Amino acid sequence: MLITLEGLDGSGKTTVWEALQDVYPDATFTREPTDSWYGEAVGRSMGDPDADPLAELFLYTADHANHLSETVRPALADGGLVIADRYSDSRFAYQGATLARSDAGIERPLEYVRGIHAAFSRPPDATIYLDLDPKTAAERAGRTDKFERDGYLAAVRDNYERLIDADPGRFHRVDATRAPEDVVARVEEIVAGLVDR
């Protein structure tokens, strides 16, 4: 079973992902961007303010393809539980928002990015969405370029909402404004329910 954690920067995904490792020591814990050289290429692009948005999408997508073949598919083939801190929905939400603001000329960016994945990706069985307002998210993530960042994260959040509307059965929304121990407890409850199913 493939369970993914999604949400804005600073929504608490890594906190939850680390807590789950104590509960499911035999599961495969993984994340995107990965620590492969593809992930490093993504990191270089993220650090470049002039990075081409379409090129960046394909770097993230290359990292995803390698993540699938190297980590996710083998673990699933062994019947394992895979828990990923970010996965394809991050691309749909973030690059959907980035492309919408760019002059790449792509009319329906979110749908475009989904379409690229449809041919080869492996959709999650369930996705836990840590729901947080953009302002708190930016503060928690320690973003200094707050005004600009807030606007961007608001667009990303809108995209997550569209993804949830399109596939409500897959998403489990968790209120990420609550205290960390409450968020972790709620996520553990959801994962236990999914694994027992």
Ligand X SMILES: Nc1ncnc2c1ncn2[C@@H]1O[C@H](COP(=O)(O)OP(=O)(O)O)[C@@H](O)[C@H]1O
Binding residues: 7-14
Q: Are 187 and 174 in contact (CB under 8 A)?
A: yes
Nearer to ligand X, 106 or 176 (CB): 176
Residues 135-164 that bind ligand X (CB under 6 A): 140-141
Q: CA dihedral in degrees (6, 10, 13, 14; nearest 10)?
A: 140
State which residue has the least CB distance to ligand TYD: 94
Distance CA 173, CA 27 (A): 22
Residues 122-151 that bind ligand TYD (CB under 6 A): 141
Q: Is 7 in the site for ligand X (CB under 6 A)?
A: yes
Neighbours of 144 (CB within 10 A): 6
Q: What is the closest distance, in whole angstroms, from the C-beta atom of residue 196 to ligand TYD in the complex?
A: 28
User: Which window, 8-16, 76-84, 125-133, 166-174, contacts ligand TYD (CB under 6 A)?
Assistant: 8-16
Q: Is 14 in the site for ligand X (CB under 6 A)?
A: yes
157 binds, among ligand X, ligand TYD, none (CB under 5 to 8 A by kind): none
Contacts of residue 155, defined as CB under 8 A and 6 or more positions apart, other chains included, come to: 97, 100, 101
Distance CA 160, CA 165 (A): 9
- The strand ranges marked E within the chain are 2-7, 28-31, 82-85, 126-131, 171-175
Answer for which of 4, 6, 15, 57 binds ligand X (CB under 6 A) is 15
User: Which window, 5-13, 41-49, 66-74, 108-116, contacts ligand X (CB under 6 A)?
Assistant: 5-13
3 binds, among ligand TYD, ligand X, none (CB under 5 to 8 A by kind): none
Distance CA 7, CA 187 (A): 13
Cis-peptide into 33, omega within 30 deg: yes
Q: What is the closest distance, in whole angstroms, from the C-beta atom of residue 11 to ligand TYD in the complex?
A: 7
Question: Judged by CB under 6 A, how many residues of this single chain contact ligand X?
Answer: 15
Residues 33-92 that bind ligand TYD (CB under 6 A): 33, 60, 86, 90-91
102-116: b (≥16 Cβ within 10 Å) or e: beeebeebbebbbeb
What are the residues binding ligand TYD (CB under 6 A)? 9-10, 13-14, 32-33, 60, 86, 90-91, 94-95, 141
